[in-house]
Amino acid sequence: MEWKEKICVEPQYSGARIEGDVITLDFVKKMMDDFKNQKCLHKRYAFQIVLQTRDLLRALPSLVDINIPDGKHFTVCGDVHGQYYDLLNIFELNGLPSEDNPYLFNGDFVDRGSFSIEVILTLFAFKCMSPSAIYLARGNHESKSMNKIYGFEGEVKSKLSEIFVELFAEVFCCLPLAHVINEKVFVVHGGLFSVDGVKLSDIRAIDRFCEPPEEGLMCEVLWSDPQPQPGRGPSKRGVGLSFGGDVTKKFLQENNLDLVVRSHEVKDEGYEIEHDGKLITVFSAPNYCDQMGNKGAFIRFEAPDMKPNIVTFAAVPHPDVKPMAYANNFLRLFS
């Protein structure tokens, strides 16, 4: 008996339903609307979305090449951190993901914000509906240890069930670590490396199907931050490193690239351009944790010139559920 037959949908369930195996736009829109009204998706359909996404992601390389045809555009978003109502606002401003309006979400979909389930199921459902409409990269928060502390695990147990904790952990290990757009723009959640000479082929060769290690290329991709001074230094986070403009320039030259786009850090304007214009940080969670007062941003690229066009936006209201509502209680004492 297949798992689908095992999970029965009660007659009184009035939410979105997937008919058969195909996740349609109509279903995704209905689900998003249900989420907006603080309704839950039935576990059966959540299970279906997560398993389908796992199969799609597992087949991808650790570094994914994206090709944007001339005259077409592509949007890169940074951290969303469970801020579902701000995600809906991004789609209002810039359109839903589709073949003609593709997106890359650059990690940290979950944790901190208390609508992480709504965010992750929406992004995953779009991935299932149309794999080339949305690309997803791993962030440092797509990991068991972070999810335990910063709220996602608690939210999964509360809104779905214990079994989904392991399932999401498994799918997060399938997320690619980096993307290259039109052989020119390198997109990664954290940043660059503690050693010179890293080639795109080295990133492609990373065995990513694991929890992030404490050191090495995979760790640095997820955790590093730029610094204004040249060279490399210790990270203020205690993991990864800080890297200067000379490191960025050299990496781009050696790999015949033009630009690094990364996320991972809250910025007042939603973005920051550093390293002589060669590195852009983009962060898409406005008024982060309901207290930072920052704007959010996303970047639109148009082929063939691939110049970054940055759009900023303010936070929108959300239901009265505090950030970190599902977080580890021990941590809440300090937040």
Q: Which token pair is 280?
A: 């852009």
Is residue 141 annotated as part of the catalytic site, yes or no? Answer: yes
268 Cβ neighbours under 8 A, 6+ residues apart: 293, 294, 295
> Phi first, then psi: what are they for 179, rounded to 5°?
-135, 145
Which of 65, 34, 63, 114 has its CA nearest to residue 319? 114
Residue 276 contacts residue 269 (beta carbons within 8 Å): no
Q: Render 8-52 in DSSP notation, one character per residue.
A: PPPTT--S----TT---HHHHHHHHHHHHTTPPPPHHHHHHHHHH
Q: Between β-strands 241-243 and 185-188, what pairing exists: parallel, antiparallel or unpaired?
A: unpaired
215 Cβ neighbours under 8 A, 6+ residues apart: none
Q: Give the span between the Cα atoms of 70 and 82, in whole angstroms.
A: 34
Q: Where are the beta strands (DSSP E) in 11-151?
A: 63-66, 73-77, 103-105, 134-136
Residue 236 contacts residue 92 (beta carbons within 8 Å): no
Q: Give the span between the Cα atoms of 168 and 142, in whole angstroms.
A: 9
Residue 241 contacts residue 235 (beta carbons within 8 Å): yes
Q: Which of 42, 73, 81, 141 is catalytic?
A: 141
Supply the residues annotated as catalytic.
Answer: 141
